[in-house]
Structure 1
Amino acid sequence: MITSDSKDQLSDRMLQWVIDAVHPQAVVRSIQRLHGGMSSIMHSIVLHVNDDELKVVLRQVDNAEWLQEEPDLALHEAESLRLVAQTAVPTPRILAYDVTGDSCGIPAVLMTQLAGTVVLRPPSMESWIDGLAETLAQIHKVEADHFTWTYFTYQDLSTFESPSWSTYTECWDKVVALVKGPQPKAKPSLIHRDYHPANVVWKDGKASGVVDWVNACRGPAGIDVGHCRVDLAQLYDVETADAFLKAYMKYAGPSFQYEPYWDLLSLVDILFGQPTVYAGWAAFGVNGLTDALMAERLDNYMLSLLSK
């Protein structure tokens, strides 16, 4: 049954698909647009089933370019959630998915909603970094030998050139030469592929889960570590990125051998044009950052990696 005053945010066809996936007698009570996601339309939906309340998240994949590159995105996230259910990390439970949009009008994924909120200004940076690192190390314990999706770079490394916005041209030339060189050997595991603070939720001061599994794949753990580090370097500074690496290595133990190559590759892999402030941060209360500051912090991070 559809009784929500907010039902105009979603089509009746879409809401009926949600209800059918949850329970025939489910009643939609509220719908809220979720902010922070940059490549999909996300909604939180509260349903009542008999005397119980269920909160779910609906992802609508409306990015035509992304769908052209990966037409099975909905299946990808569904299978990722099934695999990651093996971890000790709380993750959404898959409820339904529509790969082609035939059922609900657009490719979509329906999953349970995790308790907690994104925290980007923690009261204790040390414990927050520790929680980020411990959570990622738990994810990497999952073997993904038979997982269909495998890691690939977003950049075409064969044509990548030093960024024109930086004055450290010679240093960037060294980075480009290194990432175009041989890759270190690394035992593949399950990787999130987009692990950063805005995809981790917290409750009562502890990490309560990880969201946004649409890019998960089989690949080197260093890619997840590197992606999170470059995000932390932009959001805060090099010292925070280094503190995260130190904490991750503590939890990963001897199974993880640090290779600066993966940090360099993760850095290069986000460089599409002039650096800009990630729009999702503002939704979680981070303001005052500028594009110029992002460029400066990326340069500083790059220089720190070359010194390792």
Structure 2
Amino acid sequence: MSDGDEGGGVRSRALDWVGRQLDTGERITGVEALHGGITAEMRRLTVAGPAGGTRRLVLRTFTDPYFVEHAEVLLNREADALVLLAGTGIPAPGRIAVDPTAAHCEYPSLLMTHLPGRTVLDDEGLEARVPLLARQLVAIHTLRPAERPHEYEAWTAADAVVPPDHADAAAWGAAIDVIREPAPPYEGRFLHRDFHPGNVLFHVPPPGRAGPRITGVVDWVQTSWGPADLDVAHCSTNLALLHGPAWGLRFAEAYEEAGGVLAAAASERLYWRLLDGLAFAAEVRHVARPWREAGRAELTTRTVEGRLDAYVTALMDALG
């Protein structure tokens, strides 16, 4: 297969590398691009065995210059997380091989097992999915690895926040002042750090049958150690932008209903919620694009910016 032509865009050296990870007699018979991601190329590989059976693998490839530069840290972090998660009951992919410095592939890559299910970003059925998301996140936060991952990193700072056009200037000014303060003390937890509906796979049966269930949690590149509030905040912001501000506020309630523990003080909850929410001001265009590609055509940049503004204002009203 030639570079960038056949194989769904998998390059020749990468295909050779993947081939060396397969069992004797196995061969790649199909490649399909997976859409919806922001930071990497994702390919689903169909592998046929000598007895006629098939299995599927997933190849993550960093090609963006920024992520290529940081790939060694990021891909090793994800590969280590997948090893840690094996056998924990968290439905994560299994690590097969990693080439974090592109020693064997054209670009840094990670090969892992494929999980069943699909991402679900529709408004329909959200009421049933939110408690499932909350319970899954509580389960992640119960993990106590022998070796902690690195400490969380904040994705914005007060002086870096630029409010969206037409945003409520007073609300955003007050919100920025909140995250200008030192971070509150917290009890550390194992964090996914990028937990949101786009990184969770569901099995959704036909109407009239059993409800949806989670079949996988993917994209463990940002795994870290920090406050449970921060993971809750990130999923809350995504829900607010995808489905409306009320769902962003609802997720924290669902997390506590599932047995999760958040900061006791409203001011501390507000800090973590805003630390995540305000970081989206610079990322709206990037996060909205894959949602539109996944079928949410109405989520234009302007629409998502409006929802972010409404969510920040709602947080200030509810917790400020």
Same fold (TM over 0.5): yes
Provide, for residues 192-233 of structure 1, a one-character-per-residue CA deviation record: whole Å limited to 9, x for no partner: 111111111111421111111111111211111111111111
The aligned residue for residue 239 of structure 2 is 232
The aligned residue for residue 174 of structure 2 is 174
Give the alignment's Cα RMSD to 1 decimal. 2.3
Provide, for residues 234-260 of structure 1, a one-character-per-residue CA deviation record: whole Å limited to 9, x for no partner: 11112212222211111134x433612
Tell me how far apart the structure 1 counterparts of residues 96 and 284 of structure 2 sit (CA, whole Å): 39
What displacement does 1:153 show? 1.3
The aligned residue for residue 185 of structure 2 is 185
The aligned residue for residue 139 of structure 2 is 138
The aligned residue for residue 216 of structure 1 is 223
How do 1:26-175 residues align onto structure 2 when only pairs under 5 Å count? 26-51=26-51, 52-69=53-70, 71-121=72-122, 123-144=124-145, 146-155=147-156, 157=157, 159-163=159-163, 165-175=165-175
Provide, for residues 126-157 of structure 1, a one-character-per-residue CA deviation record: whole Å limited to 9, x for no partner: 211111111111111112462342211122x2
The aligned residue for residue 12 of structure 1 is 12
What displacement does 1:282 show? 2.3
Tell me how far apart the structure 2 counterparts of residues 67 and 12 of structure 1 sit (CA, whole Å): 18
Pair 187,32 (structure 1): closer, same or farther in 2 beyond 3 Å: same
Gaps of 5+ in 2: 206-211
Instruction: Please give the TM-score of this superposition, normalised by the length of structure 1.
Output: 0.91
The aligned residue for residue 209 of structure 2 is none
Tell me how far apart the structure 1 counterparts of residues 191 and 22 of structure 2 sit (CA, whole Å): 29
Tell me how far apart the structure 2 counterparts of residues 143 and 296 of structure 1 sit (CA, whole Å): 39
Tell me how far apart the structure 2 counterparts of residues 100 and 22 of structure 1 sit (CA, whole Å): 21
The aligned residue for residue 208 of structure 2 is none
Q: Relative to structure 2, which stretch is displaced further, 146-155 or 272-281?
A: 272-281
What displacement does 1:122 show? 5.8
Provide, for residues 239-287 of structure 1, a one-character-per-residue CA deviation record: whole Å limited to 9, x for no partner: 212222211111134x433612110100112221776761111232212
Structure 2 contact 83–95 (Cα < 8 Å) conserved: yes
Tell me how far apart the structure 2 counterparts of residues 76 and 29 of structure 1 sit (CA, whole Å): 30
Q: Does 1:290 align with 2:316?
A: no
Pair 178,145 (structure 1): closer, same or farther in 2 beyond 3 Å: farther
Kindly provide the amino acid, as one letter, of the partner of residue 17 in structure 2.
Answer: W
What displacement does 1:166 show? 3.6
Pair 291,122 (structure 1): closer, same or farther in 2 beyond 3 Å: closer
Tell me how far apart the structure 2 counterparts of residues 36 and 110 of structure 1 sit (CA, whole Å): 18
Provide, for residues 66-108 of structure 1, a one-character-per-residue CA deviation record: whole Å limited to 9, x for no partner: 2334542221110121223353221100000001111122210
Pair 58,70 (structure 1): closer, same or farther in 2 beyond 3 Å: closer
Q: Does 1:257 align with 2:263?
A: yes
Provide, for residues 171-205 of structure 1, a one-character-per-residue CA deviation record: whole Å limited to 9, x for no partner: 21111111011222211111111111111111142
Q: Relative to structure 2, which stretch is displaced further, 273-282 or 242-251?
A: 273-282
Tell me how far apart the structure 1 counterparts of residues 107 and 256 of structure 2 sit (CA, whole Å): 41
Pair 8,85 (structure 1): closer, same or farther in 2 beyond 3 Å: closer
Pair 166,69 (structure 1): closer, same or farther in 2 beyond 3 Å: farther
Q: Relative to structure 2, which stretch is displaced further, 91-100 or 128-137?
A: 128-137
Q: Relative to structure 2, which stretch is displaced further, 197-206 or 278-287?
A: 278-287
Kindly provide the amino acid, as one letter, of the partner of residue 7 in structure 1.
Answer: G
Q: Relative to structure 2, which stretch is displaced further, 172-181 or 285-294?
A: 285-294
Q: Relative to structure 2, which stretch is displaced further, 214-223 or 66-75?
A: 66-75
Tell me how far apart the structure 2 counterparts of residues 109 and 248 of structure 1 sit (CA, whole Å): 31
Tell me how far apart the structure 1 counterparts of residues 68 and 229 of structure 2 sit (CA, whole Å): 27
Instruction: Please give the TM-score of this superposition, normalised by the length of structure 2.
Output: 0.87
Tell me how far apart the structure 2 counterparts of residues 181 and 216 of structure 1 sit (CA, whole Å): 25
Tell me how far apart the structure 1 counterparts of residues 213 and 311 of structure 2 sit (CA, whole Å): 28
Identity level (%): 29
Structure 1 contact 87–141 (Cα < 8 Å) conserved: no
Q: How many residues align?
A: 304
